[in-house]
Amino acid sequence: MGCSNYKKFKFETLCVHGTHFKDLLAGAVSFPIYQTSTFSFEKAKDLADAFEGKKEAYIYTRLGNPTISVLEEKMACLEGGESALIAASGMAAISTLVLTLVEAGENIVCQDTLYGGTYALFKNLMPRLGIEVRFVRCTDLEQIEKAIDSKTKLIFIETPSNPTLQVIDIKGVAEIARKKNIHLCVDNTFATPYLQRPLELGADSVIHSATKYIGGHGDAIGGIIIGSKEFIKEAKNILKDIGATIGPFVAWLLIRGLKTLAIRMERHCFNALKVAQFLEAHPKVSKVYYPGLPSHPQHELARKQMKNFGGMVSFELKGGKRAGEILQNSVKLITLAVSLGDTDSLIEHPATTSHRAYSKEELEKFGIPEGLVRISIGIENFEDIIDDLKQALEKV
Ligand SMILES: Cc1ncc(COP(=O)(O)O)c(C=O)c1O
């Protein structure tokens, strides 16, 4: 099965089979891990030709590896893109994307609430490279239009966003980007291609922290860029020089994770809605952030843009930050840990962990409540997750 066939098969089938690569040596059904740094050639001319691009061949794992190629092909299939590039982490993928598209003297327009690591990269490192980053509220399309000028080379959005679950109108942003000939990249980590396919809505590229739902088991770090053949070729050239290559074993873990992406996402979404409804009805909870709740400001957009609402739930307690801390100390089944998208439910406090790069003033300015608690809802039985929250809330 090849990637060009992706329209013929349903998503769940592609998660399992979406690659034409086969193990020709032994017919292994699970594609082998090519745990090698380098590849041998018969003749010096063959190696030289491979380097020159006259002949397609694997040369050295930083430049390409069959196990990594399988993951790239599958991810391109699942996002409906022409090509994909795997990097060592989500942050490596985002850095590669930016360095492919933006130069000193140019600027990026992006959302004001992003994953804290992306925010740190944009706020601290980009200005050192002469790249200006303009943080705007991207749920308001007018603000994006106003921030753009002739030096804007990239619009970068996360939807749903980390940690406040804002939903951004991808089609609307894509129209603005197309009109002005600016590259639009969507960080699709929270949604995964199972829930939302930004390229079909007009984005130019998609980014993932594969560490999250793509791998899904909390045992691998990786990143992905999906886009046109031409763009991925350029990005590959940059990544090769940066050197943030994923290892073949980690790529294999992500391939294995992908096989169950669809069924895991179903359960994550089912559980998250139950938990969000429970929290919204709880007297000690003041606000719940979940796109699947009718109270969410972009609930209607989420219904249109996404197949379901995802596995991430954030909320505020009436007792504020201190109450959130007691809650985190009191859960027994839910694990106190950063990261998300794992089989296991994970709880964290963004302001002091994943979103530490935001100062107190920036948290306030960008609407990330200091007391916000975030839960990545796992695939356990939802009643056990709710029971755990019930007993922990009693202690608050
Ligand atoms: C939305 C989002 N994008 C990117 C990243 C960065 O990914 P990684 O930790 O794999 O570098 C994260 C990490 O939490 C994330 O939540």
Least confident of 15-29, 305-319, 336-350: 15-29
Per-residue pLDDT, 5: 58
Per-domain residue ranges of the chain: 3-32+64-258, 262-394
Per-residue pLDDT, 8: 80
Q: Coil, helix or strand for 255?
A: helix
Architecture of the domain made up of 3-32+64-258: 3-Layer(aba) Sandwich (3.40)
Give a three-class secondary structure readout of 135-176: EECCCCHHHHHHHCCCCEEEEEEECCCCCCCCCCCHHHHHHH
Sort strands 107-111 and 205-209 into parallel, antiparallel or unpaired.
unpaired
pLDDT tens, position by position, 90-113:
999 999 999 999 999 999 999 999
Cβ of 214 less than 6 Å from ligand 1: no
pLDDT tens, position by position, 276-299:
999 999 999 999 999 999 999 999
Structure tokens at 131: 């790249």
Tell me the pLDDT of the chain averaged across its residues.
96
The CATH H-level superfamily of 262-394 is Aspartate Aminotransferase, domain 1 (3.90.1150.10)
Catalytic residue annotation: 62, 115, 187, 212
Cβ of 118 less than 6 Å from ligand 1: yes
Ligand 1 centre from 294 Cα, in Å? Answer: 27
DSSP one-letter code for 319: T
Instruction: Please spell the DSSP secondary structure of 189-247, one letter per residue.
Output: TTTHHHH--GGGGT-SEEEEETTTTTT-SS----EEEEE-HHHHHHHHHHHHHHT-PPP
pLDDT tens, position by position, 22-70:
999 999 999 999 999 999 999 999 999 999 999 999 999 999 999 999 9
Least confident of 13-27, 240-254, 293-307, 335-349: 13-27
Q: Is the pLDDT of residue 154 over 50?
A: yes
- pTM as predicted: 0.97
Cβ of 345 less than 6 Å from ligand 1: no
Q: How far apart are CA 99 and CA 134, in angstroms?
A: 17
Structure tokens at 100: 């492919």
341 with 211: CB under 8 angstroms?
A: yes
Q: Is the pLDDT of residue 250 over 80?
A: yes
